[in-house]
Amino acid sequence: MIRAMWLAGALITVAQGAAAVECASVIFQEARYSICEVDATVEDLELFLYDDAGDPLGQFATVDGALAEQNKRLIFAMNAGMYHENRAPVGHYVEDGKEIMRVIDTAGPGNFGLLPNGVFCLREGRADVFETTRYIKDDPRCEDATQSGPMLVIDGALHPRFLADGTSKYIRNGVGTSADGTRAYFAISDEPVNFHSFGLLFRDHIKVPNALYFDGNISRLYAPSLKRSDFGFSLGPIVGVVAPIE
């Protein structure tokens, strides 16, 4: 559970979210981040891409509006993987058990192709980040899945290509999962950081064995407990926690 504490001389401020979602603003190594922790054993964690007409949902408000027709609401959301100009996912994507895009297991241009990359996999009562080759080997049969890259943390180690003095700095977001799959931790930097710093957040502060980069620059968060409802250009895959409208 996320708790208020002192870290590197800076107070971490905590905001309690709905049900088993807790979000907090933290300072780690002099950079500020927002982190949301989701209990995958009880929360309805889902991926969203297209509406019933096959058009990209694109915005948190659009997802929330579609859910309202089912008497449901969004209580947390974040962009969840890289996409093309038409908002189609760059890599593997599964929603409600249906594969929309196959697994990409070869190196390529951009951050996605900076191997190893990985897959965020949702199954009944659990959430896991898999390195892509392990995902192919284990074939976990995810109900929802989104592939992105690069991996930030692989079995407790930072991605081998990350440099401590890397000069490429962006607002970045990603996800890490606990070893038992019961907890998913979604983080977004609130100021530009490099890959090395972002990876350290997951390895040394959140302390997860595996973490995956979702994107940079376009990164956005919906977290009412932090008074965040980021808006911008239309997104591709979105991950969110769904709850009934009471």
Domain assignment of residue 25, yes or no: yes
What is the per-residue pLDDT for 21?
92
Residue 202 lies in a domain: yes
pLDDT above 60 for 193: yes
Q: Is the dihedral of CA 109, 110, 115, 116 positive or negative?
A: negative
Question: Percent helix, strand, coil in the chain (nearest 5)?
Answer: 15, 45, 45
What is the pLDDT of the chain when averaged over all its residues? 92
Q: Is residue 223 part of a domain?
A: yes
Q: Is residue 16 part of a domain?
A: yes
Residue 240 lies in a domain: no
| Tokens coding 45 | 């964690």
Distance of CA 114 to the CA centre of its chain: 18
Model confidence over 137-157: pLDDT tens digits? 999 999 999 999 999 999 999
Rounded Cα distance between 192 and 43, Å, is: 30
Helical (H) or strand (E) element with 65: helix 60-68
Residue predicted with more confidence, 35 or 7: 35
Residues 101-130: what's their mean pLDDT?
96
| Domain-located, residue 1 | no
Give the residue, 21 or 10, on which the prediction is more confident. Answer: 21
**Residues 237 and 41 sit within 8 Å (Cβ to Cβ):** no
Helix (H, G, I), strand (E, B) or coil at 238: strand
Q: What residue numbers bound the domain in which 184 lies?
A: 6-230
The 10s digit of each residue's pLDDT in 11-55 is 333 343 445 799 999 999 999 999 999 999 999 999 999 999 999
- What pLDDT, in 10s, does the model give residues 51-102? 999 999 999 999 999 999 999 999 999 999 999 999 999 999 999 999 999 9
| The predicted structure's pLDDT at residue 13 | 38
- Structural domains in the chain (count): 1
Report d(CA 75, CA 82) in Å as an integer: 22
For 22, 68, 83, 88, 239, the CA distances from 60, given in Å and listed in that order, are 18, 12, 16, 17, 10
| 241 assigned to some structural domain | no
Tokens of 92: 């593997």
Q: Which pLDDT does position 110 carry in this prediction?
A: 87
Q: Is residue 61 part of a domain?
A: yes
The token pair that represents 60 in the structure block: 């948190």
pLDDT score recorded for residue 2? 46
